[in-house]
Structure 1
Amino acid sequence: MKMNSFIAGICLFFSSLFSCQQKGDFKSVSAEEFSTIIDNSDVQRLDVRTVAEYSESHIPGSININVLDKEFAAMVDSTLQKEKPVALYCRSGKRSKKAAAILSEKGYKVYDLNEGFEGWKKAGKEIEE
């Protein structure tokens, strides 16, 4: 009996430890859902790729703040409105998860384009060059 409660305690410890590991609270969505979300004019569109990537093409109406820039968090706070949701993306979905975690920890409501700009183009969605 003592061993079972010990094991249960260990399981509880590890489950609480790992459940706290998630960085931020944001929702990753498909291109279709992202498209619906950004149809709302209150939603801020954020491209977290490099300036060069953004310059080639991007989702219309999006602003560019490179998540790899060491001043990313400060630039976000001086550019975005915390009371409005943010829909963000990168090339494939990796960097945007990092950005989404940073923003959600700062109190922003965040939607992440799961497959990034590549998934957006593959879905045939509108781009601006």
Structure 2
Amino acid sequence: MNYENIEVSRFATLMEEGDHVVLDVRSPQELAEGSIPGHVMINFFDPDFRNEVEKLDKSKAYLIYCRSGNRSGQACHMMSAMGFDRLYNLIGGIGAWNAHSAMTNR
């Protein structure tokens, strides 16, 4: 496994450090649940998912999230097999992010 499952606080810290891509692997319909600023969306269930991922820069770090952390974990696994080596999966997905944001924006 060439990726790391991380909590929201570490995800936010890595976002601040730069040189990364925030990758949302949810479906467009799930955007109503919120999103992380600056994200790139590639729907994990889209038949072209793998082809779209192949176009990404392997030298960058990828901070990946979905609704709960399951699909993003699968995406990390697939991307690791494709040669990406700086992959971070957000535990708890957008739900965890939204809860964290609510706490820090009080």
Q: Same fold (TM over 0.5)?
A: yes
Q: Is residue 44–residue 86 contact of structure 1 (8 Å, CA) maintained in 2?
A: yes
Alignment match, 1:28: 5
Deviations for 1:66-119, whole angstroms, at most 9, x for unmatched residues? Answer: 1111211110122x2111111000011111111110111111120000110101
Q: Is residue 89–residue 96 contact of structure 1 (8 Å, CA) maintained in 2?
A: yes
Residue from 65, 77, 84 that aligns with 2:60:
84
For 1:91, the aligned partner's letter is: R
For 2:57, the aligned partner's letter is: Q
For 1:32, the aligned partner's letter is: S
C-alpha distance in 2, partners of 1:77/1:32?
A: 29
C-alpha distance in 2, partners of 1:106/1:117?
A: 25
User: Do structure 1's residue 117 and structure 2's residue 88 form an aligned pair?
Assistant: no
Structure with greater contact order relative to length (CA < 8 Å, sep ≥ 6)? 2
Alignment match, 1:5: none
In structure 1, list runs of 5 or more residues that go unmatched.
Answer: 1-23
Normalising by structure 2, we get a TM-score of 0.88
User: Do structure 1's residue 49 and structure 2's residue 17 form an aligned pair?
Assistant: no
Q: Runs of 4 or more off by more than 4 Å in structure 1?
A: none
Alignment match, 2:44: 67
Residue from 90, 93, 96 that aligns with 2:72:
96
RMSD: 1.6
Percent identical residues: 34
For 1:105, the aligned partner's letter is: A
For 2:21, the aligned partner's letter is: Q
